[in-house]
Structures are given as C-alpha cells and as structure tokens.
Chains A and B, each alone.
Chain A
Amino acid sequence: MQLLEQFARGDLEAFEALFRQFQSEVYSWIVRIVRDSGVAEDLTVETFWRIYRAHAHFDPTRSFGAWARRIATNVALDYLKRVRPEVELVESMAREEPPNPALRRDVQERIARGFKRLPAKLRVAATLALVEERPYAEIAEALGISVGGVKSRVFRAVRRLREELKAQGVEP
C-alpha cells in the first residue's frame, strides 16, 4: 500500500519496484494478444511508460495489476490497429506448435488469414477467450467492458469469421 502511494506521488524507486514485480505478468498478457515475443517486450516497456506518465491518475486503494493489465491491453490494441494484418499473428509463436494433422493446411491458413482480417477489438476478445481460454471476467476487466460485452465481441468475431470463410468457399 505504501509502495503504491509512493508510486502515485511519482516516486521513481517505487515505480522500479512495481516494474520488477509486474513486468512478467504484463508481458505474458501482451504476448497472448500479439503472439510475438519481441513485440511483446517492446509493448511491455511502452505499457510501463504509459503507467509512469499516468501515475497521478492511479488510485492506490485499487489493484495495480488490474490497472496495468488494462493499460497493457490498450497498448496491444493500438499495436494491432497499427500493424498490417499480413505481418502479425499466427506466423511467429504459433509456429512453435506442430500443426494438427487432422486439419488440412489450406483450411488452417484460410482460418488464420480470416481471423487476422477481423477488427482488432473483436480479434483481441476472441484470441483471449477462444484461443487462450482466459476467463471472461478477466478479459472484461482488461478491456474495460462488461462480461456481456466480451461475449458479444466473441460472438461477432465468430460470426464474421464464418462469413469470411464462406466467402472464401470454406464450409465449416
């Protein structure tokens, strides 16, 4: 509590202590969204940079971790909006996992491509809920919306992906 109060007053040592305590947590959240370790490291630093600049807005009675996660989600969302869809997702970290032999490669690629074309907001909700299987309440807190809002985004993401696949001639 004292540490959080010191941080809210702009104390750099308190910020460093919080950075060391939460950097892994923030990184692991971001890497689940952007799916690239190098990018996730850069975005973790960017997240803490925004955290430091917003120290005066932090309420020390509330959870620092939840606040950091929310800022991290916004940073990751900004990144996904900025980056061309051809560049990110699936390509890097997912490649470490061997492809499921039951799933034909072309269908797999079409799904991944269609998923990348979804709006960033829908994609983040669907990635966290369906791919990473994070609890809806956790996603809702990180996105700053209700659980119903998360469900709605996931539902819309699945619908749009289905339409996209149908347009490409892929029947589920």
Chain B
Amino acid sequence: MNQDDDKKIRELLRRAIPPVRDTGLQRDLWPQMLKKFDESAGARVPWFDLALAAAPAMGLVFFPEMIPVFLYLL
C-alpha cells in the first residue's frame, strides 16, 4: 500500500513541479565576478591600518597606567 502511495506521490510531484526548461546561461557572468573581486579587495583592511590600530592597543596592554591618560586625550 505504502509503495503504491510512494509511486503516486512521485508521479504527482513530477506533474506539480515540472523540470526547468531553460537551463542555458543568458549572459557572461565574468563582469559580475570581477565586481566580486573588487568588493572583496575594498572590504579588506590594509595592513598598515591594522598596524596603526595595534600599536596603541599593545601599549595599553603593557602600560595599563596609561589608560586614564589615553582616555583623557580622547
């Protein structure tokens, strides 16, 4: 009984959800790919900026007594 039901379900599914007819790509996607590369490059923080941010952070870790001075200067 269940196997018959399963067969019917398969048939109904095929009729309810037809296969995609047009699977051909309509345009070249390479320009979009290049855009993705550009976005990724733009999102990346330059190493120099990271070094600039890391230097004062490290200073505060090693010289915590400087934290009030640092906050005062902000």
Contacts and interface: CB of A to CB of B under 8 A. Distances in A.
Contact of B5 (A27, A107, A162): A162
B25 A28 contact: yes
A90 B16 CA distance: 9
Interface string A56-87: 00000000000000000000000000000000
Contact of A45 (B18, B26, B36): B36
Given A27-B25, A49-B33, A97 B16 contact: no
B20 A93 contact: yes
Contacts of B9: 158, 161-162, 165, 172
Nearest to A161: B9
A37 interface: yes
Interface in A134-170: 155, 158-159, 161-162, 165
Contact of B21 (A44, A97, A100, A108): A97
Given A41-B29, A103-B12, A162-B5, A28 B18 contact: no
Contact of B24 (A24, A45, A127): A24
A16 interface: yes
Contacts of B10: 130, 158
Majority DSSP secondary structure for residues of B touching A? helix
Interface in B5-62: 5-6, 8-10, 12-30, 32-33, 36, 40
Contacts of A107: 12, 16
Given A93-B20, A111-B13, A133-B19, A158 B6 contact: yes
Given A28-B25, A41-B32, A49-B36, A131 B8 contact: no
A75 B41 CA distance: 22
A92 B21 CA distance: 12
Contacts of A49: 33, 36, 40
Contact of B13 (A23, A41, A159, A161): A161
A28 B23 contact: yes
21 contacts: A20-B28, A23-B29, A28-B23, A32-B23, A37-B26, A49-B40, A97-B18, A108-B15, A111-B13, A111-B16, A111-B17, A127-B17, A130-B10, A130-B14, A131-B17, A132-B19, A133-B19, A155-B6, A158-B6, A158-B13, A162-B6
